[in-house]
Amino acid sequence: MSNYVILPILIPLLTGIILMFFSRNVTASRIISVVSSLLLVGVSGYLVHLVKVNGILTHEVGEWKPPFGIVLVADMLSALLVLTTSIIGLCCILFSFRSIGIERERFYFYSFVQFMIVGVTGAFLTGDLFNLFVFFEVMLMSSYVLIALGGTKLQLRESLKYILVNVVSSALFVIAVGFLYSVVGTLNIADLSVRVAEADQPGIVTAIAMLLFVVFAVKGALFPLYFWLPGSYKAPPSVVTALFGALLTKVGVYAIFRVFFIIFYHDPSFTHTIIGYVCLFTIVAGCIGAIAYWDVEKIVIYNIVIAVGVITYGVTLTTEAGVSGALYYLIHDMIIKAALFLLAGAMFTITGTHSAKKMGGLIKRHPLLGWMFFIAVISLAGIPPLSGFIGKFLLVQGAAESHSYLFMAILLLSSLVVLYSVIKVFIHAFWREPKLTAQEEKGSPKGLLLPIALLLALSVFLGVGAEMVSPYISDAAKTLMNPSIYIDAVLKE
């Protein structure tokens, strides 16, 4: 049974390797990718079910007992994130069939997508800090290739920046892990938690915790360290941006949650206060960017920054409602950001431009696309029947219980800004007089709408079926808030 924990890593890894043999045969690559992604969705769904029934599952790689060997841990949070990742992976692969172009497909595109999914699921499932670093690198190296694949001038320039920033932050990660190992003497997350608790988190451990926060803040794009994100995410094709926007930054957020809930929770008046202010600044900076641009992709990119700030603030909330809200919002945001980037990609396919001002009247000939964009917009802003609402509602409730009124105010105001920034796109691109006649359109969105519809259906289900989803989320929040559950499951004491 514990073998199910490793399958979400093994399936994409094996697929990625097999796809390397078929790189010239595009049809075979497509079929293999889709079959394996469907399998991954099934296995991850079953993993969520298993964790719900049996509690936390662990997989001791190579039969070495923790803390001596590497252990993979599937608690509810990891399992849910792996499931979300697998669904987004499937939708992005479906979307890329008609949008990525044969040249990229023949140069190992599907292999690298699979390897990136390996890195993301591995980072979610691992129970060891250095192993987390390795999976970060697996994920990042695939993302380096995906961002540069195709070799346009813009891509090359931005991939250079992206690689530079990430190499520096990876080096910082290794340094932080080295410090931590020399002070505490272990790298297993559960064992680290025990030992840090025994020493009551002395000052040096707090300093290392903040160094780790800086590392994850670079990956997750928090306030002073988000400068690389807008340019880098603008460069690659929209499918790749959808994968990046939905998965990569969220891995950084997940790492912050894992580290500050399970290990470094003894000095919140110092660490969590700083994290809180950083998040508030992140939200404000994201809002400014989201208002400023007319470029559809840029607007969605700055919405990522806002969402990352909102979710990470959940670390500082002390009640279960707040943490559940942050987790709900995390999952909602992964899905809806993927959907929005894919929608932006479909709009670009039709009009050949990213500027909302140059589009117009799209809803006349593409009503389905228009209304799907509208659903995505109101879900993103948090209108009641849809998924964004419940996360934000719980966050507001948690903020009230934790007396974080400043956050509550900024969260609610930022919702307005988010709504304004995307409805601006909707009004300019879909209403008004059509700018392009049927002959002038650059391409048709045929086949592109199915994956978007899948993601939106999931988003609607998350909102309407909140009764079914919330037990899983509150399970995840409980594990985060009581590190002893996690430690007992891993160390089997």
Which residues of this chain interact with another protein, rule CB under 8 A?
Answer: 2-3, 6, 10, 13-14, 17-18, 20-21, 23, 59-63
- Beta-carbon neighbour count of residue 294 at 10 Å? 14
Token digits of residue 34? 């889709």
Q: CB 44 → another protein: shortest distance, Å?
A: 17
> For residue 455, what are its two tokens?
């993601």
Q: Which is nearer to another protein, 20 or 423 (CB)?
A: 20
Q: How far is the CB of 3 from another protein (least distance, A)?
A: 6
Quick one: residue 74, left, alpha or beta (phi over 0 = left, psi -120 to 50 = alpha)? beta
* The token pair that represents 410 in the structure block: 């900024």
Q: Which residues contact 8 (CB under 8 A, 6 or more apart)?
A: 40, 43, 44, 47, 82, 86, 121, 125
Q: Is the dihedral angle over the CA atoms 75, 80, 81, 83 positive or is it negative?
A: positive
Q: How far is the CB of 308 from another protein (least distance, A)?
A: 32
Q: Which is nearer to another protein, 118 or 189 (CB)?
A: 118
Q: How far is the CB of 492 from another protein (least distance, A)?
A: 14
Query: Which residue number, 9 or 242, has a Cβ lying nearer to another protein?
Result: 9
CB-based contact 127:189 (threshold 8 Å): yes
Residue 65 or 403 having the CB closest to another protein: 65
DSSP 145-162: HHHHTT--HHHHHHHHHH
Element (H, E) at 477: helix 466-481
Place of tokens 């603008």: 234
Minimum CB–partner distance for residue 120 and another protein (Å):
18
Residue closer to another protein by CB (options 14, 38) is: 14
- CB of 10 or CB of 50, closer to another protein: 10
Residue 60 or 128 with smaller CB distance to another protein: 60
Shortest approach of another protein to residue 70 CB, angstroms? 9
The answer to whether 296 touches 354, Cβ cutoff 8 Å, is: yes
* DSSP codes joined into one string, 435-460: SS-TTT-S---TTTHHHHHHHHHHHH
How near is the Cβ of 106 to another protein at its closest, in Å? 12
